A = this chain, B = another copy of it.
């Protein structure tokens, strides 16, 4: 006998976890589609050379890489961005620009397992490519906002920055060539604090401690959005990159307000810069007010060139990625998920096998009205069937035996209220709807 087990860092999704996960995927899909992002899919497996060296040495080490039947060097994708770059290079002539896509699927990373982090997890990415227009940056913020509210989040904040500000300031400081290294280090500020970041900027990046202080002062600028932007304008507004970054951020805030996004949901935060060299413009991170410890749950930014490794055609764009499984694991750990094991609210109790056709006829009447109905497969004792129903989280039980079928009625039992009513079978859908809406 083989011991049933999953690999370390992998997990099964049982219904009580899969039901909320499917709901979250459905919400994300709805929001993306509502903005006109079109779905795509790419293979889980790619040629290794497509994936190698795109996420840094750490990611290369974590690749699930092997030789396939045809002797090809292949690997499982570790994110959805690199496959999208390959995809765009291959198909953009067919697709045309601007092109807006979303992509939801599993990715694999053989990283050390931590609480709430798995080696297989779903990402939900959306991007607009083929345009440098700030309208796409504005829309990205709106999509993140609508995504979070569609996922039932109320207390969250989208932190926004623009790398043009930091790059412009670093240029003014004569640190242009070290900009990428400075930003990579600065990205750690929220995690390791000002002291440690300063030390690293001096020792590893090689800037002076005076320069490090100036950079850290800028990144730590606090106040209302207007105050922060005015302060940067006052100090560095004459630098052309800074001026452009400020104009784009201001347009983003104005447009978001006009579009109806509550102002408290968007915060300019000059410390937000993402670790990836890749980003060149607007930067987004999203934090849950009550779960800051899980980090950003939806992050992204603007880039100048998506697919430079695969094509000479320049593909600028902007997008973000929802860390769906990370968010789900956090909600699970914090016991914020309602545990239900059935996607159907109604159970039809089986009194006798003689009626299974009629039970299914009743059930299909309800299903045609969009109500999920499970028919219990065995004529067990009614009590045992009702126990099954309660344990799984059904809300209503339909009970009908010989008497009820003779009279053309059935009993409806509200499992939470423990109340029973009798209803004509032909009117069952309306009554069930009414009871479920209570």
Report which A residues bind B (CB closer than 8 A): 1-8, 10-15, 18-19, 21-22, 29, 33-47, 49-50, 62, 64, 66-70, 72, 74, 76, 86-87, 89-91, 94-96, 98, 100-101, 106, 108, 110, 120, 128, 131, 133-136, 138-139, 142, 146, 251, 254-260, 307, 309-312, 341-344, 347, 350, 353, 356-358, 360-361, 363-364, 367, 370-378, 388, 391
Query: In the bound complex, do residue B377 and residue A310 qualify as a contact, i.e. CB atoms below 8 Å apart?
Result: no
- Determine whether the beta carbon of B89 is less than 8 Å from that of A4: yes
Interchain CB contact under 8 A, B68 and A373: no
Determine whether the beta carbon of B360 is less than 8 Å from that of A2: no
Residues in B whose Cβ lies below 8 Å from that of A375:
35-36, 135, 139
Interface SS of chain A: mixed
Name the residue of chain B whose CB is nearest to the CB of A312.
Answer: B1
Residue of B nearest to A16 (CB): B38
The listed residue with most B CB atoms (<10 A of its CB), out of A37, A38, A64, A110, is A38
For this chain, the copies found in one complex come to 2
Measured in the bound complex, the distance between the Cα atoms of B128 and A356 in whole Å is 16
* Minimum CB distance partner of A62 in chain B: B69
Known interface pairs A4-B50, A13-B42, A37-B343; 5 further A-B residue pairs with C-beta atoms within 8 A, sorted by A's residue number: A1-B310, A5-B90, A18-B39, A22-B29, A135-B350
Q: Is the CB of B43 within 8 A of A120?
A: yes
Contact of A257 among B29, B87, B357 (CB under 8 A): B357
* Other-chain residue from B22, B36, B370, B391 in contact with A344 (beta carbon distance below 8 A): B36
* Residues A342 and B5 in contact in the complex (CB < 8 Å), given A110-B69, A259-B361: no
| Chain B proximity of A38: nearest CB distance (Å) | 4
Tell me, rounded to whole Å, the shortest Cβ–Cβ distance linking A79 to chain B: 15
Asked if A12 contacts B91 (CB within 8 A), the reply is yes
The distance from the CB of A44 to the nearest CB of chain B, in whole angstroms, is 6
Which residue in chain B gives the minimum CB-CB distance to A104?
B22
Cα distance A372–B14 in the bound complex, in angstroms = 32
Q: Once the chains bind, are A34 and B361 in contact (CB under 8 Å)?
A: no
Q: List 24 A-B contacts (CB under 8 A).
A: A4-B86, A4-B87, A4-B89, A4-B307, A7-B68, A7-B72, A10-B43, A15-B95, A15-B101, A19-B39, A21-B41, A34-B370, A36-B375, A44-B44, A44-B108, A62-B69, A64-B68, A96-B388, A96-B391, A100-B374, A135-B377, A139-B375, A142-B364, A254-B357
